[in-house]
Structure 1
Amino acid sequence: MYLNCKTYFSYRYGTCSSEELVQQALEAGATALALTNINNTSDVWDFYTACTDVGIQPILGAEIRNGDTLLYLLLAKNLDGLGVINSFLSHHLQTGEPFPEQEKFGEHVWVIYPLGNHNPAQLAPNELIGVQPSEINKLFAVDTAAYPTKFVIRQPVTFKDKKHFNLHRLLRAIDKNILLSRQQTEHIAAATETFLTPAQILAAFRQHPQIVTNTLRLVDTCHYDMDWKTDKNKKVFSATPEDDRILLEKLALDGLQYRYGNKNKVATERVQKELRIINDLGFNSYFLITWDLIRYAQSRGFYYVGRGSGANSIVAYCLQITDVNPIDLDLYFERFLNPHRSSPPDFDIDFSWQDRDEVIDYVFKRYGKHQVALLGMYSTFQYNATLRELAKVFGLPKHEVDLIARDPHAKLGEDKIQQYILHYGSLLMNFPNHLSIHPGGMLISEAPIHQYTALELPPKGFATTQIDMFVAEKVGLHKLDILSQRGLGHIKEAIRLVRNNKQLSIDIHDVDKLKKNPQVAAQIRRADTIGCFYIESPAMRQLLQKLRCDNYITLVAASSIIRPGVASSGMMREYIQRFHHPEKIVYLHPKMQELLEETYGVMVYQEDVIKVAHHFAGLDMGEADVLRRAMSGKYRGRKEFERIKDQFFANCKTMGHPDAITAEVWRQIESFGGYSFSKAHSASFAVESYQSLFLKTYYPMEFMVAVINNFGGFYSTELYFHELRRTGATVHAPCVNRSEELTNIEGSEVYIGFVHIKSLEKETIATLLMERYHHGDYQHLEDFIHRTGIGAEQLNILIRVGALRFTGKNKKELLWEANFLHKRVQQPHRTESLFCEPAVEFKLPQLHHSAYEDAMDETELLGFPLCDPFTLVSADTTGYVTARTLPQHLGKVVDVLGCYITEKPTRTRNGQTMFFGTFLDPEGAWIDTVHFPDTAARQRLTGRGFYHLRGKVAEEFGVYSLEVRWMEKVGLREG
């Protein structure tokens, strides 16, 4: 009877989750329930399990609408029927074609039309007409006896009560972007769309028992035999599972020869062991599909990093999926895959942001559009944005909308409306708002993917599932992560620039050679890492200095202990203390010293949990990984966990460990679980960091231009240009005869790219570059105007940024001449001339233009000046202490002049706010500041600019900082 129910996955329409809907149905006395969200099957599987958990029969389907017009309901009789519905939805959602008013769906799908839309005489056997209890009176005009099997009960359920009806109305107003007072009847559901009890429905249809019977018969036809336990991913890569086994073995052994030679017994035995486990668990195809992806990327010259727990596998290393040597780092394969794990492990593959889409496109074309999709996720209503939306719906003026968004409890004139906004805003929290795309997840299924989900086509242009990763995993579809990050773009672009600028080719994949390079080691020790992936932030640079990092192992550790959980737990400081004073370390047990000596007795990695559980407590590797997963919150089998815990203590007793030591080891494992991090993950990050560091060490100019051309990293573009100048490069303003769209380098001369000029249109850039490529450099201003047909506004931007300085005239002269030439030509248009005509000569009074005016123009148009910024400050820069001399003033109060770079707020243990700041001094060196809660409460950093800072010079593990006691912002000089 409840054949038309919605959840909040009817976006901006429904008002409850699947679980809430099923609970309401249970309270109403329902025994069967259909989920029919509008053009959507996102939560059918959550709904299915919620129903079966409480003994309600689930019916899966969808409500088909064009805009506000209900066309029909689709109900699947079985899983084949659900596949038909998903396929139908996918076609129309991806093409944008309107849904047809009538369609043939075949025998596995029931189609239910609203009463009055179709003649029952013209309906197919699987097509029915739904009658609402509120529509009983309309049946007097219909000859139901002539078509006794064609009518069923359709009681829509959209909300629970009056409050949720109001919530529904607000959602509809948000969706339509209209005032609530402008809402029309056709925009919203009827107020009767709630759960009536079965008794109420039967009473309404007491004169139509045949309709009741038809409804019950329909319900009886809907059954779904869903196997939750089987892996639904693509099972075969080649021809057969056995062929996959043979192929993977061949590729792994070939890679073993490449990576280790033919005499490494340890590596050979480990490869054979991993191959056995991979085959026994049925994951040969998973490795081969990932290898195929990497092979394609290599053929296209794409740079990539295979990271995550996949780097624990020597087979992955031999297949070049990762560049982390698991034997060198003592990485356990069982962290990645073991007999206790039934789901496929995760491979995370990072590509440059420029290359990732092509890799995704390859996967679609290689494995078929019916088996491949990007993984969806949901953008949800969050508090502040929701308050703003509700304020607009209630018609508050803009200044009050802004006020309530900034401060929900600000006093408004209409207190009652404010109460409504706050009340319904809290109800809307975390409602799904629209479908989004998972950052990198892809699904490759064995069966057509429509068996599990409908697909949409977001602006990215790739088919995307309506289900998210949690539902996909429940079904048995496990994602392959194809991610993007700018660090790889830095590396690729730097290599291209070195090849063009220095005619050199670089093998960046010879990581072992990079690790042993003394110049790279010195670069890390100095923490000269600006622009380098993962190791350029102020906190990371300080940590590298505190650890005197100059090797790969220490860098791997630093990549782990910098993470928020480790730092806030106090273990990062403990690690640094032990690094500096290893003689003071007291190990719990000789075995613990043997296992954790590399990390000074501190558990830094998730692999340490496995190591201790296996070697100290005698658990097998699979059990040790279950323990690791439980500690990191990724294992839900409590019984299994308790069994392993008991085994841990029993084994320790058998091995003769004192009870007190066993209990302390267990306590450390438990406390570590909240902030654990995979060593393989850190090792992968460290590999990419070394690649960046090598390029920065030997080709600093090209590397920094590459960072700029990939639009930075942790810092602003201005900071990267500052670093570029420190390499010895001469940075020029954009030039119409020398610049490209991106920043380019010629020897040590760098020309800023047109892309950095604010308000300069893409069409202007494309036109001036194309004209220059085809017909050579521009000769003078008039030549530039005639050849490009540029408008006055765009021309003025180029003149003000200095892009026409090749003419030898200053900006004011050029602006005057440009204005005259534009008036003379009226509407300039591109013209081609057979001869180079001389420029028109103007007699002008002397027009002065200063370097200060240039700096102001550059700040406005580029976002930063090209001169030394300290030449603009309205203070004498000579009277301040610099970063270089801080060690001479340890413990003293000094004055510093700093140019703001960034800040990091944090909370103390008692909840107070404090800040860490980063500044440049007049010599271009870095100064780190600490703003304790009392100072932070009195004086806040207010963003970019210059600050006079007064504070005490402090030192910790060789790193100097300024503990700020007072500060004020310093202005710019005038003219």
Structure 2
Amino acid sequence: MSRFVHLHNHTHFSLQDGACKVETLIKAAREFDMHAVALTDHGVLYGVPSFFKHAMEAGIKPIIGMEAYIVKEGSRHDRRSDDQTGVGRRKKKYYNHLILLAKNQQGYHNLIKLSSYGFLEGFYYKPRIDLELLEKYKEGIVCTSACIGGVVASDLAEGNYKKAKEVAKTYKDIFGNDFYLEIQNHNMEEELPVLEGMPRIGKELGIKLVATNDCHYIKQEDAYSHNILLLLSDKTGEGDYRNLRYGTDQIYFKSQDEMINQFRDFPEAVESTLEIADKIEIFMKDKETLHFPTIPIPESSRATDLDDYLSELAHAGLEKRYPDLTKEIEDRFRYELDVIKNMGFAGYFLVVADFINAARERNILVGPGRGSAAGSIVAYALGITNVDPRKYDLLFERFLNPARKSMPDIDVDFADDRRGEVIDYVKDKYGHECVTQIITFNTLSSKAVIRDVARVLKIPISTVNSITKYIPSKFGKVYSIETALNEVPELKWVKDSKDEQIVNLIKHAKVLEGMNRNASKHAAGVVIAPSDVSDFVPLSNPAAQDEIVTQFNMLELEKFGILKMDFLGLRTLTIIKDTIELVKKNHNIEINIDEIEDGDELTYKLFAKGQTSGVFQFESPPMREYLKKLKPRSIKDLAAMNALYRPGPMEFIDDFLDRKYGRKPIEYAHPILGDILKETYGIIVYQEQVIQIANKVGGMSLGEADILRRAMGKKNLKMMAEQKAKFIKGAVENKISEKVASEIFENIDKFANYGFNKSHAVAYSIIAYQTAFLKAHYTPEFLAANLKNEFGDQDKVAKFLEDCRKLKISVLAPNINKPSVFFDVEKGKIRFGLSAIKNVGVNAIEEIKRSREKLGRNFKSLFEFCSNVDTRVVNKRTLEGLILAGAFDSVNKNRALLLHNVESALNFGSRFQEYKRKNTDSLFGFDENDISLMEPKLDHCNDWSESEKLAREREVIGFYVSDHPLRKFELEYRSFSNIHLGETEHITESQAVRACGVLNGINTKIDKSNRTMAFFKLDDFTGFCDCIMFASTYSKFAGFIKDEACVMVIGKLESSGDAVKLNAEEIIPMEKARERFTKYLKIIIDREKYDPESIKTLKEILLKHQGAMSVIIELINNGDDRNRFVLKQMKIKLTNTFINEVQKLYGEESVWLVPK
């Protein structure tokens, strides 16, 4: 039995202060044989759901509380101007700490209100409450006076006994016998006045003492790890981690014996911990009711309740979706409706259907579906999804399982530029106080924590990278430090290291790994409640944002019966919308994207060629190669590839393709499997297939089969054994032998981990098909929409510009005489919008438009432009940006000349406009032939070289537009580069590369050995990569490191998790690359272009350019089969003339240089 209980504990939910996890706290309490333990994080209840769950599982009574911040005097609404001496630096804290513990459900509800109001009304550096709130929400709460920064102790520490006693009396008056004076002893000198004063106040006022430890970590040796966390909270990480900020290493979770001994002079204070624990009830339970918002039923409806109303709306939608309604459809529809009603979810469906229909009424593009909801006919009938479940054999039970009651999960995609409007609609309909977004916590992963701790310990970045680069990820999750050290051979040296720096790094990193770094707003999650959200869960505003969020995360909210859903902003939908608008403008064609039929020939040709840059979910280079092999012909094909192309199942792609094209036989353990797996050629690709096998083979209901699928995914061995016995028993009853049944079970168990949600794969493949359709039929408009929406991503823009060039779509520079804000399409050509230019804002563009419209024609000169626009809006910097970007090329192509004359043009414009203002209202008006108004001549200046023009263009736009410096070396780039710099996101391990590109952003630095090293960017046609060249090689290649130089960089591409960097080991000028690396020439000829006439011409070209280089000809059949011919008797001299002649005959990509 406990003799002491800890009542003052901080976890990592006391952000950047507590250095222990909730589960670690509970484990320690259990090890020390404590029957109860409290959670008291700073001002928040973030950790309550996790704390309650782990405590109950461990058989420990959870005491839910918080250490509140309470204003020292005055009101929570006060914002004292003298609270600070500088940004974020407090001269004196005008708040104190106060421990509040919930005795019962009422007390918990009041804690929720107090914590919420601290953020909503009292936030000023901290979420503060005041005595007014405390008086209002005191019921059901035990209050203790907290630490040395507490309401009573702070005055005692300052020697003000009288004030301390007055404060204690105030709290005694509020809480009566539920107020305790807290005493702590961390062996700190400043605590002595408190230890002396508290017993005296307690005796004089009849208030009991309670002994606590201000626990911030679990073990005493964690003090330095905790201090590192505090240093990291300063952002800089500067300071000696051994100099403990809190001045003690005693704020750890001590054992009962330690605490009893510590307070041997105050046994009654130890006894009070048990008294308080006995006052606490276990009051939180699993949700008993679902809290839906109030949903009005229109007067026009005959429905008497929400179930009837849902049925009424769904039936109306069903008749529209299925004009020829069959009994099979009707039966499934009725079954789904019954399940929804019996589970009490009618309200959920009505809310979702309402805001989706509201979005469509406002012409906000909504995705066809997302996740398992696409498997519901009711959702399809209501317009929640736009995927016919029957057409794609989708299962309702994967979405809503009658055998396992849990909240439905309907996530909805909206065009990302208008998602906020849908949330505003919901707030307006149900009440702003009833709708809020959801919190999420960003945690310290193994890689991140190693980097952070290393920064505090001042360990060189090169050492850090030598560790983090070998920490792998699996299924999108980074390995823990422990797992990586045990399983990765390259990290054995770290595990075995005796180096004090490395030992300390790993020790402290392990303590802090997985802890919360900060809180933020979830990207999509929204809560809708029947009344103020704080009636159900606490609220906060992380990082003092204006946006209010719940204090519990997405997964935890369901336990409280709160309606939550994802409102996702999908940029692809905005791109679709912008493409459709451009098509309407340029072709006067209205496209309803939801009515595009599957099977379009041009669209599937695009997929088969792998030309899927910009096509949703099918953009990556490896995916494009798979598409060339797959040659999809339907959305079902796309869905299968979408499901397979992810970590794990990716290993089955080649097997899938071999079976599809008959290169491997398709075999089934039993004929029943044929119907289920026919679509995926005998391979289990989808979770729905696992459910169907369990249903058809194992005789389980679809609901039971879904439970089996979940058990397999969680690898619950006990449940798996039960499910296997049930499966085999059902199979035997279906006349399938036990041996075959066992074999089938093992097979589905193997694939259950990899199986993907088919409903989601289909829904997202429909979006992929829609984007591919638009790209195939309206290529310029589609690429312009992508350029507009991806303009903030340099790599993507570079990629789309290169895509334009390959597809023979001209990209025109910005133009003052065609002043669009965003990318536009002119007769099949894409025009850069003026907003792409540095220092050119929307106001300036609108002024240029206005002036040109008023003029009634194009601007003819720089002087005319400046004399018409308001130069206060279109200022000097704006004008220079326009010139450098080529926006004045339609007026004068000599950009250097125009830039040289900017000052005189602006002066002329000012004089012209001043003269015009003075004379417009005069009797005679103004005379444009007045000599003072005549345009001066441009002061002569030579134009820049092409390379300087491109460099300056890139400076103001961020990209090369009119050309690319690397273009003249395109053959070498294509032949020798084994990496595209804008497509490195799939790189996870160190990789040796040859990369060709343009150098810029060069920055040299002196290393610790007083040697020069270099940092620079390398740009190619697809994007850029940051590069580093260490001092050991810099001196050798320094002469080649020049801005705008075209070079080949040989080195290692390394991923640090967040970014990829190229460690340059060698630099070769592109002018020398062809001679150094070419082994022989390869000419690729497509069978379609292979005819006697072209072969005759090729032979003439070869004879005309005879030399010493070997030639190989490769004939391609249908993109796959290749026949190679070595021209033994014919060698050539490699010249640009020869290359141009062959390319003219067989295409730009027919000539390749094969590297040595």
TM tier, smaller: 0.7 to 0.9
State how far apart, in whole Å, the 1-side matches of 2:327 and 2:996 are: 50
State how far apart, in whole Å, the 1-side matches of 2:387 and 2:724 are: 32
User: Residue 644 of structure 1 aligns with which residue?
Assistant: 723
User: Residue 520 of structure 2 aligns with which residue?
Assistant: 436
2:142 is the alignment partner of 1:110? yes
2:259 is the alignment partner of 1:259? no
User: Residue 146 of structure 1 aligns with which residue?
Assistant: 204
Counterpart code for 1:735: N
1:763–1:828 distance in 2 versus 1, CA, 3 Å: farther
- How far residue 711 of structure 1 moved from its aligned partner, in angstroms, is 0.6
Counterpart code for 2:833: G
Contact 1:172–1:188 (CA under 8 A) maintained in structure 2: no
User: Residue 841 of structure 1 aligns with which residue?
Assistant: 936
User: Residue 665 of structure 2 aligns with which residue?
Assistant: 584
Bigger mean CA offset, 517-526 vs 174-183: 174-183
State how far apart, in whole Å, the 2-side matches of 1:824 and 1:49 are: 75
Structure 2 residue corresponding to 1:538, chosen from 586, 610, 621: 621
State how far apart, in whole Å, the 1-side matches of 2:232 and 2:778 are: 53
Counterpart code for 2:60: I
Aligned residue for 1:228, secondary structure, equals: coil
- How far residue 388 of structure 1 moved from its aligned partner, in angstroms, is 4.7
- How far residue 668 of structure 1 moved from its aligned partner, in angstroms, is 1.8
1:448–1:827 distance in 2 versus 1, CA, 3 Å: farther
Structure 2 residue corresponding to 1:608, chosen from 656, 665, 689: 689
TM-score, length-scaled by structure 1: 0.84
Aligned residue for 1:358, secondary structure, equals: helix
Bigger mean CA offset, 483-492 vs 721-730: 721-730
2:733 is the alignment partner of 1:654? yes
Contact 1:520–1:693 (CA under 8 A) maintained in structure 2: yes
Counterpart code for 1:722: E
Contact 1:787–1:830 (CA under 8 A) maintained in structure 2: no
User: Residue 931 of structure 1 aligns with which residue?
Assistant: none
Aligned residue for 1:462, secondary structure, equals: coil
Name the larger-Rg structure: 2
User: Residue 77 of structure 2 aligns with which residue?
Assistant: none
State how far apart, in whole Å, the 2-side matches of 1:138 and 1:354 are: 62
How is 1:302-701 mapped onto 2 (pairs within 5 angstroms)?
302-305=364-367, 306-393=369-456, 396=458, 402-407=461-466, 420-445=504-529, 448-450=532-534, 451-456=536-541, 461-477=546-562, 479-511=564-596, 514-568=597-651, 571-581=652-662, 584-633=665-714, 639-701=718-780
- How far residue 517 of structure 1 moved from its aligned partner, in angstroms, is 3.4
Contact 1:768–1:788 (CA under 8 A) maintained in structure 2: no
Aligned residue for 1:662, secondary structure, equals: helix
User: Residue 169 of structure 2 aligns with which residue?
Assistant: 121
How is 1:705-854 mapped onto 2 (pairs within 5 angstroms)?
705-711=784-790, 716-725=796-805, 729-758=809-838, 780-782=861-863, 784-785=865-866, 787-789=870-872, 790-808=874-892, 810-820=894-904, 833=917, 838=933, 840-842=935-937, 844-845=939-940, 847-854=942-949
After superposition, the C-alpha distances for 1:298-318 in whole angstroms (9 at most, x for unaligned) are 111111222111111111111
Aligned residue for 1:234, secondary structure, equals: coil
Structure 2 residue corresponding to 1:156, chosen from 214, 224, 242: 214
1:706–1:841 distance in 2 versus 1, CA, 3 Å: same
- How far residue 274 of structure 1 moved from its aligned partner, in angstroms, is 0.8
State how far apart, in whole Å, the 2-side matches of 1:711 and 1:509 are: 24
Structure 2 residue corresponding to 1:167, chosen from 209, 225, 233: 225
After superposition, the C-alpha distances for 1:835-869 in whole angstroms (9 at most, x for unaligned) are 77956413534523444433333334334333454
- How far residue 616 of structure 1 moved from its aligned partner, in angstroms, is 2.6
User: Residue 290 of structure 1 aligns with which residue?
Assistant: 352
Aligned residue for 1:716, secondary structure, equals: helix
Aligned residue for 1:304, secondary structure, equals: coil
User: Residue 887 of structure 1 aligns with which residue?
Assistant: none
State how far apart, in whole Å, the 1-side matches of 2:195 and 2:686 are: 70
1:198–1:147 distance in 2 versus 1, CA, 3 Å: farther
After superposition, the C-alpha distances for 1:703-730 in whole angstroms (9 at most, x for unaligned) are 1111111117996212212333555644
User: Residue 22 of structure 1 aligns with which residue?
Assistant: 26
- How far residue 77 of structure 1 moved from its aligned partner, in angstroms, is 2.2
Which structure is higher in RCO with an 8 Å CA cutoff and minimum separation 6? 1
After superposition, the C-alpha distances for 1:240-283 in whole angstroms (9 at most, x for unaligned) are 99611111111111111111114333222211111111111221
Counterpart code for 1:292: D
Counterpart code for 1:658: S
Which ranges in structure 2 are unaligned for 5 or more consecutive residues?
71-89, 156-163, 186-191, 470-492, 921-925, 998-1019, 1023-1047, 1054-1060, 1083-1113, 1125-1156
1:639–1:843 distance in 2 versus 1, CA, 3 Å: closer
After superposition, the C-alpha distances for 1:445-504 in whole angstroms (9 at most, x for unaligned) are 457543333332568743222222333344455641221222111111111112222232
State how far apart, in whole Å, the 1-side matches of 2:180 and 2:263 are: 15
State how far apart, in whole Å, the 2-side matches of 1:763 and 1:392 are: 44
Contact 2:812–2:962 (CA under 8 A) maintained in structure 1: no
State how far apart, in whole Å, the 2-side matches of 1:47 and 1:881 are: 57
Counterpart code for 1:816: H
2:12 is the alignment partner of 1:8? yes
Aligned residue for 2:769, secondary structure, equals: helix
Counterpart code for 1:610: I
State how far apart, in whole Å, the 2-side matches of 1:4 and 1:731 are: 65
- Identity score, percent: 26
- How far residue 649 of structure 1 moved from its aligned partner, in angstroms, is 0.9
Contact 1:158–1:189 (CA under 8 A) maintained in structure 2: no
Structure 2 residue corresponding to 1:188, chosen from 243, 246, 252: 246
1:469–1:501 distance in 2 versus 1, CA, 3 Å: same
- How far residue 507 of structure 1 moved from its aligned partner, in angstroms, is 1.4
State how far apart, in whole Å, the 2-side matches of 1:778 and 1:937 are: 45
Aligned residue for 1:653, secondary structure, equals: helix
Bigger mean CA offset, 480-489 vs 213-222: 213-222
State how far apart, in whole Å, the 2-side matches of 1:676 and 1:352 are: 29
State how far apart, in whole Å, the 2-side matches of 1:897 and 1:653 are: 58
Aligned residue for 2:641, secondary structure, equals: helix
Which ranges in structure 1 are unaligned for 5 or more consecutive residues?
883-894, 927-935, 964-975
TM-score, length-scaled by structure 2: 0.72
User: Residue 182 of structure 2 aligns with which residue?
Assistant: 131
Aligned residue for 1:643, secondary structure, equals: helix
Contact 1:561–1:604 (CA under 8 A) maintained in structure 2: yes
State how far apart, in whole Å, the 2-side matches of 1:881 and 1:189 are: 60
After superposition, the C-alpha distances for 1:64-114 in whole angstroms (9 at most, x for unaligned) are 238775431222222332232233322332453462453423323333333
2:45 is the alignment partner of 1:41? yes
Bigger mean CA offset, 697-706 vs 359-368: 359-368
Structure 2 residue corresponding to 1:245, chosen from 307, 313, 318: 307
State how far apart, in whole Å, the 2-side matches of 1:180 and 1:912 are: 31
State how far apart, in whole Å, the 2-side matches of 1:33 and 1:961 are: 71
User: Residue 702 of structure 1 aligns with which residue?
Assistant: 781
- How far residue 194 of structure 1 moved from its aligned partner, in angstroms, is 3.0
State how far apart, in whole Å, the 1-side matches of 2:170 and 2:131 are: 11
After superposition, the C-alpha distances for 1:103-153 in whole angstroms (9 at most, x for unaligned) are 423323333333344413333231735331435642378343331136443
Aligned residue for 2:312, secondary structure, equals: helix
Cα RMSD for the two superposed structures: 4.3
Contact 1:536–1:714 (CA under 8 A) maintained in structure 2: no
1:961–1:83 distance in 2 versus 1, CA, 3 Å: farther
Aligned residue for 2:519, secondary structure, equals: strand
State how far apart, in whole Å, the 1-side matches of 2:1120 and 2:965 are: 25
State how far apart, in whole Å, the 1-side matches of 2:67 and 2:118 are: 14
User: Residue 889 of structure 1 aligns with which residue?
Assistant: none
State how far apart, in whole Å, the 2-side matches of 1:342 and 1:75 are: 33
Aligned length: 924
Contact 1:905–1:916 (CA under 8 A) maintained in structure 2: no
